[in-house]
Structure formats: C-alpha cells, structure tokens
Structure 1
Amino acid sequence: MSQFDQLHRFLFNNASVRGEMVRLDDSLNHIVHSYEYPVQIQRLLSEMAAATCLLTAILKFKGEIGLQIQSEGPVKYAVINATDKQTLRGVARWDENLTTLPETFSELLTKAVLVITITPEEGERYQGVVALDKPTLAECIEAYFDQSEQLATSVRLMTDLSQPDNAKAAGLLLQVLPKAAEATDRSQQNEFDHLTTLTGTLTEEEMFSLPVEDILHRLYHQEEVEMFPPQAVSFACTCSRDRSAEALKNVEKAELMAIIEEEGAIKMNCQYCHTEYRFDSIDVEAIHGGHVGDAPTNQ
C-alpha cells in the first residue's frame, strides 16, 4: 500500500518536540497538471502544497488555511488552499511572455511576500504576512514561526519531478511544543537542535523511496518516537454551481441578460479545477428572483 498522499504525525516523548511528515503524488498531480505549468512553477506549487499540509496539521482548528505568494517577479501569484480534512487545491499565475524562467526561488519571486490565511469554521479569520527574503520557502516558513509564534521550527521540503506525469513532493517538520517553548530550560533547545541535525541527513532518495517507519527509524533510532495514525490527503475543489450563482446575484440582471444575448450563455470557469458552469436566461431569472436552487443543475 502506498504511503503517499498521507500525513504522518509523530512525537518525541523525551524531547518535547513534535514532528510531521507528508508525501504527495496523486493529490499533487491534480494541481500541477491542471495547467501547462513550466517545471519551475510545478516545483514551487509542489513545495507550497507540502508546506500547506504541514501547517494545516500544526494549527489545530476546523476550517481552511491558505498559503498565498504575491510577487513582482516572473511568478506573480501562487496559492495553495487546504482544509483540516487535508483536501488541497492550488493555482499559479506567471509572466507567460517569458520564454524561460529562472531556476532559483529568489529569482522567481522578487519583492515577494507570503500571506498565511487561517479561516476557522468558528472564530475570527487570521492573516499573517512574511517577507520571502530567504533562499528557500522552507527557510521563510521557519522565519514566520520564529517571528510570529516564537516556536523553534525546522522545515524540509523536497520535490521529485523526474517523471513528468507523476510529480511528487514531500515535507518534514519539527517543532518545539508550545509549553516547552515557554520554559527557560536551555536543554529543550539543545534537544531540538540535535533532532534538527539528524533530520538534515535525510536524502531525497530516502524520502521518496522508503516506508515512513524506515525513514523515522534511520533518522531517530536512538529516540523514543510515538507515531499516530496517518491522515489521508486528497485533491478537492470547493467550487459549485450554487456558489457561482451566488456570485451572479451581485451583477445587475440587465447586464447578465446582455451577455447571454451576445454570447449565448454566461460561462464561469473555476481557476482551480477548470470546471465550467453555464447559465442561460432562465437561470438568471431564477437567480435574481431568489430561487437559485430552482435553476437547472447542468454545468
């Protein structure tokens, strides 16, 4: 049984440190192959997808989290959204006039920020912003936790795009437990630094080829590691015909009818999954009459 598209949580019982590992393939391919993305964009979205899974698992809430990059460089915009049920979707926009794209993270993203948005089912929406001024996305996320949460955090992100039709991504995160971070005992930091050093020995070949249990044993065989049941990760889009119809309620009826007269129908495409929703004059009458649910359900 494949251990990809699974999030694994584990705990170092003697070190007050928690860990997470995620490996993606099928869920990721729905994202990176939804458009003819250059390999550099695929790599960026792959790292963001793995990172979003890790962050969703850390932030104990029911709802959604989004990682959004805004940049003045070749990549203008990239976003991955995930839910507490570990469903993913994502999209990117870049300067398609460029014949080639730079390879490095810093060159792809200039004057860029990472916006982390947490939208719980209950409670207030939270948004944090961190400058993307480090050489890698992993280092930028580490800086975010250091600045905003004051939690020592180690992040490793890996991608395998060697098979064009089967992109893979992985992430491994270690973090001092919040209660331990409040303590003044320097030994907690020493333990974390030791575990981070061990984690740094993991190779991409090991990450993408070995069972999770073998990886953790190779890295931490001298530690007391407690593993928890894995959580499945999947691609899922939250778009729907009803949501599209709700958006049309904010447009004047006459304007919608003019579009239908000129083009035959109103066509709305989801930027994440590319599902197309069509609305004709009967649909518009139902929408503006307050009967969205009465509109035909054909896409």
Structure 2
Amino acid sequence: MTHQDILQRFIFDGAPVRGALVRLDAAWQQVLARRSYPAPLERLLGEMMAASSLLSANLKFEGTLVMQLQGQGALQLAVVESNSDRTLRATARWDGDSLPDVPVKELLGTGGVCVITLDPKQGEAWQGIVALEGDSLAPMLEHYMARSEQLDTRMILAANHETAAGLLLQRLPDGHGDPDSWAHVVTLANTLKAEELLMLDAQTLLHRLYHEEAVRLFDAEPMAFACTCSRERVGDMLRMLGGQEVGEIIDEQGSVEIACEFCNQKYVFDDEDARELFDFDVVAAVREARH
C-alpha cells in the first residue's frame, strides 16, 4: 500500500458520537529511521504517536500537545510532540539492549508517570497527570478523559514496524442522536482487529464497522514528521548552561557538540561560536581563571 499519513474526523448523524482515525506511515518511518528501538518500545512509541495525533485533533488552539512517559525502570523516557499544524516527532530513552514485553507501568518502574502537556503559542501551558491504569496506553487515556474531561472515550491503538494507527470515539452531550446508541457504537468498535486498523483506509474501515449507520467522514488532514530543533534554540540552551561551563568544555574538547534526541541533527559550537553567544571570549576567560 502507498504511504499515507492522514487524520480524518467523522461524526454519526444518529448517535451522540464523534471520532477520528489516524494512520502514520512515512511519518512513523522517519522516527524509526533515526533510532532502532526494542520491539515493545517501538510498539508503545507508535501507539503514543497515534494517540497524541488523535487527542490533538479536537484542540482549538495553536500550539503543541506533549505526551510523556517517564520513570526509573527499564524505560526511562518516551515522549511524543504533536503540533496544531499536524506535524509530530518522537523519541525515547531506555536501559539496556532490550526491553521485556510487559505492561507500561512495569516498564516505567518506580516513580513512573504519564503527563500530557498542552503548550499553546499564546497563553500559559497546562499539564495533566494520567494515572497508570490498565496494561496499555489506550485504557490509561480513556480513564484520563473520563475523569479530567468528563468525556466518555474509546480509543484503539496499534503499531508495527511499518505503520502506527488509531481510532478515537467520544460521546457527545445529550441532544445529538439517540443517547442509548453510544454503547452500540463502542461494541462494534471492540470487534476491530489490529491488522484492520493498520491496513484499511478510513472509509473502508468505517463502512466495515458501521455500514448500517449514517457516518459523515470529513476531509483528510495530512500528517508529517517535523522536528522543531534549530541552531538558535541550541544556542539559547548553551546560554542557560553558562559561559564558564561552555568555555571549559570547548577548552578541553575543542568544541561543544549537541545532538537533537528527536532527529539526531548535530550542532557544533567552537570558540568563535561561543564568543558570539556570550559576547566575550569564554575560552580565554576559563584559561585565565585557571592560571
């Protein structure tokens, strides 16, 4: 099948349900091309990419949704950023050459946490803590939406080495369609198999599940991998680190090299670059202090 990185929203005419489907092929391959992940983490990170795309589909602001898993176990960090312009990126850190195929909570170990951050371009950022309930990401997010947003949600996620995909269903307030049909829509969704979610286009999948229902499928929105790193941002980070520490590193190693964890782009700063960053010769200052 051809690569297709698209998100499509839909709504039921006769049921109080809205939804979205996402399929990531080339965007997911861009992530995997930059780093090799153990199989359980590869699947989890793909599901996180699909889930963050689905959750950001209904946001009404310009900015970024960040989904982050962090702990002190075999899995130390997994993070996905999904932007309002329908671009996203992902990365992870783990301990060892492989990971066991166990529930997320066990992978994260002591102090494990899942955090969702909404970071608008204008206004203050907002964070929510997702309880580590259930064995996988989807039920965790369903519980979170029910408690924090009072929104009944069904989410189905799947990922393999080629594709990451997801289905989101959310119950609308009373007044739209038959209120008793939510359970029927969810029951049919529960028959969906992972291979169907990964292989079928939105129109075929919705027809297979809901051919007896009136479902309006909206135009596809293209998704893409994109990294927001830049030399300017790395320079800002070095300024925060301080002239003395940057000068010491350059004096010892000849330069500072920073690699983006998301895209592996490398940024190198030598003594001349550092002089421009700090408006003085940090390497000469370090040498003078030593003598």
TM-score above 0.5: yes
* Runs (5+) with no aligned partner, structure 1: 162-166, 291-299
Alignment partner of 1:197 is 2:192: no
- 3-state SS of 1:249 partner: helix
Q: Amino acid of the residue matched to residue 170 of structure 1?
A: A
The aligned residue for residue 283 of structure 2 is none
Q: Does structure 1 conserve the Cα–Cα contact (< 8 Å) formed by 2:82 and 2:89?
A: yes
The aligned residue for residue 66 of structure 2 is 66
Instruction: Give the C-alpha shift of residue 187 in structure 1.
Output: 4.8
The aligned residue for residue 214 of structure 1 is 204
Instruction: Give the C-alpha shift of residue 27 in structure 1.
Output: 0.6
The aligned residue for residue 130 of structure 2 is 130
Q: Does structure 2 conserve the Cα–Cα contact (< 8 Å) formed by 1:32 and 1:46?
A: no
The TM-score, its normalising length taken from structure 2, stands at 0.89
Q: Amino acid of the residue matched to residue 239 of structure 1?
A: C
Instruction: Give the C-alpha shift of residue 34 in structure 1.
Output: 2.0
- 3-state SS of 1:37 partner: coil
**Deviations for 1:128-165, whole angstroms, at most 9, x for unmatched residues?**
0022121221000000001000011000001223xxxx
- 3-state SS of 2:57 partner: helix
- 3-state SS of 2:155 partner: strand
Instruction: Give the C-alpha shift of residue 78 in structure 1.
Output: 0.8
Q: Does structure 1 conserve the Cα–Cα contact (< 8 Å) formed by 2:133 and 2:139?
A: no
Q: Amino acid of the residue matched to residue 69 of structure 1?
A: L
Instruction: Give the C-alpha shift of residue 66 in structure 1.
Output: 0.5
Q: Does structure 1 conserve the Cα–Cα contact (< 8 Å) formed by 2:133 and 2:143?
A: no
Give the stretch that moved more between structures: 99-108 or 271-280. Answer: 99-108
The TM-score, its normalising length taken from structure 1, stands at 0.87
Give the counterpart of 1:288 among 259, 265, 278.
278
Q: Amino acid of the residue matched to residue 169 of structure 1?
A: A
| RMSD of equivalent CA atoms | 2.1
**Separation in structure 2 between the aligned mates of residue 187 and residue 72 of structure 1, nearest angstrom:** 46
The aligned residue for residue 160 of structure 2 is 160
**Deviations for 1:271-295, whole angstroms, at most 9, x for unmatched residues?**
11111111111111111129xxxxx
- 3-state SS of 1:250 partner: helix
The alignment covers a number of residue pairs equal to 279
Q: Does structure 1 conserve the Cα–Cα contact (< 8 Å) formed by 2:41 and 2:99?
A: no
Instruction: Give the C-alpha shift of residue 99 in structure 1.
Output: 5.3
The aligned residue for residue 294 of structure 1 is none
Q: Does structure 1 conserve the Cα–Cα contact (< 8 Å) formed by 2:40 and 2:99?
A: no
Q: Does structure 2 conserve the Cα–Cα contact (< 8 Å) formed by 1:32 and 1:45?
A: no
**Separation in structure 2 between the aligned mates of residue 214 and residue 99 of structure 1, nearest angstrom:** 37
